[in-house]
Each structure stands twice: as C-alpha cells, then as structure tokens.
Amino acid sequence: MIEIALLAVAVLVILLTLGVPLPYCFGAGLMVMYFIGDVVMKGNILWGFQQLGNPVLLAIPLFVLAGTIMSVSGIAASLLRFVNIFVGHLRGGLGVVATISCALIGAISGSGLTGVAAIGPLLIPEMEKQGYPREYATALIANSSLLGLLIPPSVTMIVYGWVTDTSILACFLATLGPGLLIMFNFSMVNIHMAKKFALKLEDRPRGPDFIAEVSKRGFKATPALLMPVIILGGIYGGVMTPTEAAAVAVIYAIPVGFLIYKGLNLRTFLGASKEASTAVGAIMLMILFSMILSQMFVLEGIPQELVEAIFSITEDKAILLILINFLLFFVGMVVNDVTAIILIAPLLLPLMEAIGVSPIQFAAIMGVNTAMGGVTPPYASILYLGARIGKVKVTKVIRPAMILIVTGYLPVVILTSYWDNLSLFLPRYFGY
C-alpha cells in the first residue's frame, strides 16, 4: 500500500509542477488511491466536509480578515513610524524596522502574507531611497513576513493543533521563541549587510523633541498595539477561545480602521473582505481534499508502515531529526504551509512520539520549517508575492533571499530540533 501512497504523492507533485490549482492536485492523488489502490471513496466527502465545519478552523478566515483589514487601513504605517523612531537612525536601522514591524503585524495576523502585503508597499521604496538594493529589501521583507506564522496567532499552528489534537495555545507558545530568534537573526544580518550598502541615514530628533515625537507616534500606534493585547490577552486570560478572539479582532479592526486610521472606507472594506474570503475559500477547498487524502493514508495504515520503514533504516534520534528536517525542507519547497502540515503531521507524529519528541516541540519544528517553505523556491508563495509588490524579477530576489534563509532560518531550524527548551520553555512555563 505504501507504494500506491507514494504514487499518489508523485502524481500530486507532478500536477503541482504543471501549475494545476492545489485542490485538484489533491483530487488527483485521491483518484490514484481510488482507481489503483482500490481505497473506498464512499463517505469520504461527507467526512471531509464535516471536518471543515470544525469551529477551530473558523479562526483562519477571521484572522486572515483581521490581518487584511489592518493592512489596508493604514495601521501598518503607524506601527512602522513608531518602530522607526527608535532604530531608524542607526546604520541598517530601516531594515531592522522592517523586520520588527513584520513581527508586530504578525502578532495581529495569523498568516504569513500580511507582513509583506502591509509593510512591503510602504517600506520597499523607502529602503531603496535610503540606498538598499531593491531586491534585497524585497527579500528581507518577504522573509520577515513569515514571522506572522511564528508569532501567535498562527494559522499553521491552528491547523497543526487541529489535526494532531494538541493544545493550540501550547503550539502558539512553542513557535514564539524560534520566531523571536529569527527576528533577531534578520536584524543582525541586516546590520552586517548594511555595512556594504551606501546608505543615507536620517537624523533623529534629540532631547525633548525625541520625547515629543515618541509620544506622538506612540499615541497613533496605540490602537494597533492594543490589538495583540486584546487577542492574546483574551485567549490566555480566559475570556475567549482562539476562534472567538479572531472574531473579536475583526470586530475591533473595523471601527479602528474606519474611524481612527481612516484607511478603511466602504470600497476598501468590501475589497478586503472579498479578498480575505477568496483566499480562505481557496485554502479551505485545499484543506478539504488534502484532509481526505491524508485520511485515506491513515485508513490504510500508512503512518505505521512509514514508521517501520524508517526505523528499519535507523533508530538514532539525532539522525532521524536530520532526515525529518530534510524531508520538511523538500516538502516546504513544493507545497504551502497549511497543506504541508495536514499531510505530514499525522504521518510523522507517531514517529516523533516513538523517538521521544513531544507533539508541542514537533509543532515548533513543523512551524519553523513550513514558514521557511514560504520563501524556498520553486514554490515560494510569499517570496513571489514580495517580488510582485516590490516590482522586481523573481530570479533577482532569490539570491538575497537565500542568504537570509541560510543565516536567519537554518540555524533556528537546527536549534528547534536539537534544543527542546527553545520551543518548550514557554509552553511549560504556562503549564502546558
């Protein structure tokens, strides 16, 4: 049976390469299982559709919508100006501003693309004006944008918690440490890189002027900075479930966007909700069919077969973790974050538990790897989106993106795998 499962995956990857929309790629995988593997299809649509009704998943559209509203309403700009006053005047400061702003946006949005969509149009021209190469600025912001998947709330962690039956709150905390470390890495790398660019630096107001400017920009940024407080405080403070928090985020963002930041009007609001709904519809349809394919694998006992096959090669934990990271890297190259988790988490979780890696640490391992997948070609959705926003050729951003992946992501991927405290400290501290 494992051969047919592999064939299904092979067909899936081929269609993907051809540019067939993902839901149909999974549909083709199902066809392989059904026609060649003789697996029952009856009742599977029923099962999959009922899975979509799980309220946990409802957090996805709502967090995506909250992020979209935020990015059109001008909240991003106020956050950016606020961060800028502290580090903008330093050499390489504007790149650090980009990274930290993406992380802050990430604390509002659940997806990896809000950062690049909201920060990119504002900061890429600004950085270029200051002397950063345009393709470097684009690569930096695209890479940082994926912090949205590591700083809670996070769509990938919601999906991971859902498919593996792990506490979503614990998963949120598990990726926070690695996320902050990646943010730190990007900042350091940027400061180093900036030495090579001929940068024109801004002056920062001093003394009382500085204080006045901080309070002015801080005041404007407050409604935006309050949002993660409301979301995370509400969830961890026992007021609401993550799904409800996502709804509250939307309800909060609408008046703030309309009345305080004024970037939101009826036209942009309708546009934002249509865009968010469409993105979510596409994700959900993909989730539906990838869930069914994954369930077929489970029904046929593929995870157990896989664990046995892998154990027949080696039982050494350190080597297995290397192999798994390689696997996740390749998976991240070809599919998007949510799909990678739906397909891989149920397959590998039994293996992880067998070698003594907790589901929460595995959440962080998958979280970091799938976030990185957003910028690793050939399927690098966030990088391509960044290239479109930054108006640079995809082939040009790949080089600077690679430098950032190797220096920013890779060390954290390794650390997350081999040093469990990085991901487990916070969940343990909060009693998970």
Instruction: Confirm or reject binding of residue 265 to another protein (CB under 8 A).
Output: no
Among 6, 10, 40, 229, binds another protein (CB under 8 A): 40
Sites for Na ion among residues 316-335 (CB under 5 A): 332-333
Binding part of the chain for another protein, among 179-187, 205-213, 267-275, 404-412 by CB under 8 A, reads: 267-275
Q: Tell me: cis bond preceding 378? Omega within 30 of 0 counts.
A: yes
Q: Which does 56 bind (CB under 5 to 8 A by kind): another protein, Na ion, none?
A: another protein
By CB under 8 A, residue 250 contacts another protein = yes
Q: Which of residues 134-153 bind Na ion (CB under 5 A)?
A: 148, 151
Q: Toward Na ion, which CB reaches closer, 378 or 431?
A: 378
Q: Which of 295, 354, 396, 428 binds another protein (CB under 8 A)?
A: 295
Q: For residue 429, give the nearest of 365, 421, 179 by alpha carbon.
A: 421
The pair of structure tokens assigned to 6 is 């592999």
Query: Segment 218-237, which members bind another protein (CB under 8 A)?
Result: 235-237
Residue 409 structure tokens? 């992501």
What are the distances in angstroms from CA 159 to CA 16, 132, 340? 22, 37, 10
Least distance CB 132 / another protein (angstroms):
25
Q: What is the largest CA-CA distance in the chain?
A: 76
Rounded CA gap, 206 and 190, in Å? 25
Instruction: Give the phi and the psi of residue 213 in degrees, each rounded to 5.
Output: -65, -40
184 contact partners, CB below 8 Å, separation of at least 6:
none
Q: How far is it, in rounded angstroms, from Cα 228 to Cα 223?
A: 10
Residues numbered 91-150 forming contacts with another protein, rule: CB under 8 A: none
Q: Is 432 exposed, middle or buried (0-12, 13-18, 19+ CB in 10 A)?
A: middle
Considering only residues 13-32, where is the footprint of another protein by CB under 8 A? 15-24, 27-28, 30-31
**For another protein, the closer CB: 28 or 183:** 28
Q: How far apart, in Å, are the Cα atoms of 70 and each of 57, 75, 77, 270?
A: 21, 6, 10, 13
| Residue numbers 358-377 binding Na ion by CB under 5 A | 373, 376
Counting residues that bind another protein (by CB under 8 A) gives 86
Q: Based on DSSP, count helices (H) and strands (E) in the chain, helices before strands.
A: 21, 0
Position 319 contacts another protein (CB under 8 A)? no
- What number of residues does the chain have? 432
* Residue closer to another protein (CB basis): 194 or 250: 250
Which x/- pattern over 42-81 shows residues binding another protein (rule: CB under 8 A)?
xxxxxx-xxxxxxxx-x--xx--x----------------
Amino acid in position 318: A
Instruction: Indicate whether 331 belongs to the interface with another protein (CB under 8 A).
Output: no
When asked if residue 379 is in the footprint of Na ion (CB under 5 A), the reply is yes
Residue 405, classed as helix, strand or coil, is helix
Q: Which residue has the tokens 């890495």?
A: 185
232 binds Na ion (CB under 5 A): no
- Paired tokens of 26: 């999974």
335 lies in the binding site for another protein (CB under 8 A): yes
With b for 16 or more beta-carbon neighbours within 10 A and e for fewer, the 133-162 pattern comes to bbbbbbbbbbbbbbbbbbbbbbbbbbbbbb
* Residue closer to another protein (CB basis): 109 or 416: 109
Residues numbered 380-409 forming contacts with another protein, rule: CB under 8 A: 381, 384, 394-395
To Na ion, the closest distance from the beta carbon of 29 in angstroms equals: 19
Binding site for Na ion (CB under 5 A): 106, 148, 151, 154, 332-333, 373, 376, 379-380
